[in-house]
Chains A and B, each alone.
Chain A
Amino acid sequence: MITPRALGRLVRRLLPSGREEAAARTLDLRIDRALFTEVRAHVENFTRGEEAGYLICRLSRLDDRVVLLAREWLPIPDEEISRNIDGSVLAWTAAFNSDALERALGSGCTLVLVHSHGTRLPAFSPDDLDKERRLFPGLSLLAGSIPIGTMLLGQGDAVGSFWEDGCPADLLFGQVTVVGEQIEAWPAVGSTLTGEQMVRPRLDRQSLAIGPHADAALHRARVAVIGVSGGGSHIVQQLAHMGIGTLIPIDDQMVEESNLGRLVGARAADVDGTKKVEVARRLAEGIDPEIKIEQVEARFPEASVIDALKSADVIVSCVDRFDVREGINVFCRRHLIPQIDIGIELRSNGERLVSADGQMIVSLPGRPCLRCWFLTDALLEAERRHHPPGYDANSDAPGEAQVVSMNAVLAAEACNSVLDLVTGYSGRARRAAFWQYEGRAGEMTRHDLPSRREDCPACAEEGLGDPG
């Protein structure tokens, strides 16, 4: 029986041409590099002929697109496959499809059939299209409104086709985003991203340093900065200079007099009258009038913040509290988004600075997260005891010690990591790591991350995306 949603889609398809329709949504796939390497190793091995398999994915729904978050790879075993004489896949067993679908739907996931012809500018063959028409109407009826479909990988590009409720979905395949030391886009064939290159005159010197492809990648990048005060305001300033295309500053606070000692871009006239996100906007737009600012005047994890963060390529957290860091850490794991976290603790004996210990951490999906080692249960529990619910709203709560120039050091290193994630300028010299800062002597030391914690509660939620 046809569902109302499916009927609606059929009616829209039958609309006379020229009739105004809503803009089509996009479907992207986000995948951790290690898993993508596993997929490619299988489908690009043509020793026996074509290979294929299913990616099991959860969903992240945004206003204008759906992002599938790859969690698991199920290659179709050779004994399940029958091939044509030319090596192309003829069929595989219905039992494999049934098991894969049961596994996916049982955990709130969907399936993406992946294969490759080993060529650039991939295109589904008549045989692929025939298989799709036989397979996906039925599978998608079982999956309901969760998109399910097929993807053909090329060499740095891809094509995809998706179904919902038994019908082709109103979803244009956008790109595969591979999240690793460098964020890599495999755009849809025909997309404007393919082979894109630009050099903005204002970034000419930067392009001389890190290459002509960097500018386009920076222009495409969407970076969220949570907390745009002491540390975050430096980051906003540098990312705007760097040519990031879209900045998402997030903060719910008003500028106070005590912020003037460290809030880059703030003016005396802003005190008690201007929100910190407005200062961020003014600062960034003053540097680059073409930058897109999508400010959110709210606090993590309010719904508006969650919605904004889901669209980011990189999230920089500049927050005071460990439990907020932990929430952002879990969010980044669930949505397979790289997180860069900065923080510094200054201690004084009342007369002079006794210690200035800071950190900048780059945390990537598939690698150790902040909860694996830094945000220990004991640390979080101690903070809960000292900062019970509502503590931050208490105007008598003492402020944290801060020095603008020490914040700047950590912020600059964080911006180097954003630049590396987006452009790969370091040639994998930076990777996911921990930078320790000792502010009195002015020492910055890079450390590899410790091992992943097997029972890490945050990593257990990796790739889960939206709730439910």
Chain B
Amino acid sequence: MEQAEAADLIARIERAFGSARDVTPAPDQPLHVLMEEVVLPDAWSPNLTRALVIWEGWPEARPRFLIDEQVRGEGGEPPRSNDLVYVLGEGWRQFSFSFPWVGDDPVVAVQKWLERFSVESS
């Protein structure tokens, strides 16, 4: 991704979600954006949390979305069908969530992923 394109994407995410910064580990890597103030529905705890979005293959493919490993639903369980993965020196939780992806709006892509937390509590 070109530098200007990445800067625009980060600015749009920041405007929409309150925080976003580039944490890409190396120049040749896909853009990694850390969102430090993601708000989840009340059923999730903590409901103000961090997410890491990796824009690999963007915009042909949806971004990879990872959530802080501490996030739990009402039953104390993390999102169903999940794995812990090691990214940027710590564990993040990835989870299965299907949605058709057509488009090139990064804000919509993040909103789609966040819908996972609205449909059920775990």
Whether the Cβ atoms of B95 and A390 lie closer than 8 Å is yes
- Chain B residues with Cβ under 8 A from A328's Cβ? 86
Q: Which B residue sits closest to A326, measured CB to CB?
A: B86
Determine which of B29, B86, B88 lies in contact with A300 in the assembled complex, contact meaning CB atoms within 8 Å: B86
Q: Name the B residues within 8 Å of A334 (CB-CB).
A: 89
Q: Which residues of B contact A300 (CB under 8 A)?
A: 84, 86
Give Cα A327 to B26, complex, Å. 16
Which of B69, B83, B86, B90 makes the CB contact (< 8 A) with A389?
Answer: B83
- State which size class the interface on A falls in: 20 to 34
Encode contact with A along B90-103: 1 for CB under 8 Å, 0 otherwise: 11001110000000
The reply on A337 being an interface residue by CB < 8 A is: no
Q: Is there a chain B Cβ closer than 8 Å to A331's Cβ?
A: yes
Say whether, besides A300-B86, A301-B86, A390-B81, A306 and B91 are in contact (CB < 8 Å).
Answer: yes
Chain B residues closer than 8 Å to A21, beta-carbon distance: none
Report how far A464 CA is from B23 CA in the complex, Å: 13
In the complex, the answer to whether A388 meets B96 with C-beta atoms within 8 Å is: yes
* CB-based nearest A residue for B84: A301
Q: Mark A425-440, 1 if CB is under 8 A from B, else 0.
A: 0000000000000000
| CB pair B86 A457 closer than 8 Å | no
**Distance A105 CA – B69 CA, assembled complex (angstroms):** 28
Cβ of A389 and Cβ of B94 under 8 Å apart?
yes
Q: Does A130 contact B (CB under 8 A)?
A: no
State the CA gap A388–B29 with chains docked (Å). Answer: 22
A156 to B42, CA, bound (A): 58
Within 8 A of B (CB), among A274-328: 299-303, 306, 323, 327-328
Q: Report the minimum CB–CB distance from A341 to chain B (whole Å).
A: 15
Determine the distance from Cα of A392 to Cα of B91 in the docked complex, in whole angstroms: 17
Is the CB–CB distance between A389 and B81 below 8 Å?
A: yes
A461 x B25 contact (CB < 8 A)? yes
Judge whether A302 and B90 touch: CB under 8 Å: no
CB distance from A390 to the nearest CB of B (A): 3
B69 and A302 contact, CB distance less than 8 A: yes
Given known contacts A460-B25, A461-B25, is B90 in contact with A467 (CB within 8 Å)?
Answer: yes
Question: Would you call B7 an interface residue if the criterion is a C-beta within 8 Å of the partner chain's C-beta atoms?
Answer: no
Docked Cα-Cα span, A457 to B26, in Å, equals 7
B118: Cβ under 8 A from any A Cβ = no
Asked whether, in the complex, the Cβ of B83 is within 8 Å of the Cβ of A327, the reply is no
Are the CB atoms of B84 and A302 closer together than 8 Å? yes
A390, B83: Cβ atoms closer than 8 Å: yes
Closest residue on chain B to residue A466 by CB atoms: B89
Count A/B pairs, Cβ under 8 Å: 62
Chain B nearest Cβ from A94, distance in angstroms: 31
Residue A465 CB within 8 A of the other chain: yes
Q: Is the CB of A301 within 8 A of B26?
A: no
Whether A301 touches B29, Cβ cut-off 8 Å, given contacts A389-B83, A389-B96, A390-B96, is: no
Least CB distance, B14 to chain A, in whole angstroms = 19
Chain A proximity of B49: nearest CB distance (Å): 15
Q: Could you tell me the distance between the alpha carbons of A299 and B93 in the complex, rounded to whole angstroms? A: 13
- In the complex, residue of chain B having the shortest beta-carbon distance to the beta carbon of A464: B89
The 8 Å CB contact of B69, one of A303, A392, A393, A465, is: A303
Chain B residues closer than 8 Å to A467, beta-carbon distance: 88-90
Report whether B80 and A460 are in contact in the complex, using a CB–CB cutoff of 8 Å.
Answer: no
From B28, B81, B85, B86, residue with most partner A Cβ within 10 Å: B86
- Tell me if A455 is interfacial: C-beta within 8 Å of chain B: yes
Q: Which residue of B lies closest to A392 (CB)?
A: B83
Complex CA distance for A468 and B95, rounded to whole angstroms: 24
With both beta carbons as reference points, the residue of chain B lying nearest to A377 in the complex is identified as B56
Q: A330–B88 Cα gap in the complex (Å)?
A: 9
Nearest chain-A residue to B28 (Cβ)?
A455
- Given the contacts A389-B96, A457-B29, A460-B28, A301 and B83 also touching, CB distance less than 8 Å: no
- In the complex, which residues of chain A have a beta carbon less than 8 angstroms from the beta carbon of B111? none
Give A468 to B86 CA distance when docked, in angstroms. 14
A332 to chain B, nearest CB (A): 11
A323-B85, A464-B89, A467-B90 known; A390+B80 contact, CB < 8 A: yes
| B30 smallest CB distance to A (angstroms) | 9
| Interface bits B52-88 vs A (CB < 8 Å: 1, else 0) | 0000000000000000010000000000111111101
A331 close to B69 (CB less than 8 A): no
Chain B interface (Cβ < 8 Å from any Cβ of A): 25-26, 28-29, 69, 80-86, 88-91, 94-96
Question: Which positions in A face B, CB cutoff 8 Å?
Answer: 299-303, 306, 323, 327-328, 330-331, 334, 388-393, 455, 457, 460-461, 464-468
Q: What are 18 residue pairs bridging A and B, where the CB atoms are less than 8 Å apart in the complex?
A: A299-B84, A301-B91, A306-B91, A323-B85, A328-B86, A330-B86, A331-B89, A388-B96, A389-B82, A389-B95, A389-B96, A390-B81, A391-B83, A392-B83, A457-B25, A460-B25, A461-B89, A467-B90
